[in-house]
């Protein structure tokens, strides 16, 4: 039986390929595929972005090899960055909760 972390890694791979397999190379996300992935899988994050060109900026930032697409390694960099940001928010909330419990 896989652990929670193993299932999380499998989910990352499955989600990436669910969108990468829609057009072109199944090993990369095109701009359109990245946008679909983000609109479906990261909709809360996208809603918090006030910039309509957010997906284009994210693609440019992620595309470390400059090929105009996002491979799995580049995609994982996005997930890691978002996970770090979420963990920092979690830590702040933990501190706030702990501060509120003190008499």
What are the extents of the domains in the chain?
A: 4-101
Q: Are 70 and 59 in contact (CB under 8 A)?
A: yes
Hey, CA dihedral for 13, 42, 89, 75, is it positive or negative?
positive
pLDDT at 101: 65
Q: Are 71 and 79 in contact (CB under 8 A)?
A: no
pTM: 0.78
Rg of the chain over all Cα atoms, to the nearest angstrom: 16
Q: What is the pLDDT of residues 41-93, one digit of tens each?
A: 988 776 766 666 777 788 888 888 888 899 999 999 889 988 888 888 888 88
Q: Looking at the domain covering 4-101, what would its CATH class be? A: mainly alpha
């Amino acid at each position: 039986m896989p652990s929670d972390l193993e299932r999380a890694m499998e989910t990352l791979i499955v989600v990436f390929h669910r969108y990468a397999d829609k057009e072109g190379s199944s090993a990369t996300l095109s701009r359109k595929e990245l946008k679909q992935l983000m609109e479906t899988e990261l909709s809360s994050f996208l809603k918090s972005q006030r910039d309509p060109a957010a997906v284009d900026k994210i693609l440019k930032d992620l595309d470390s090899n400059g090929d105009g697409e996002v491979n799995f390694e580049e995609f994982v960099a996005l997930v890691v960055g978002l996970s770090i940001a979420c963990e920092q928010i979690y830590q702040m909330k933990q501190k706030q909760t702990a501060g509120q419990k003190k008499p």
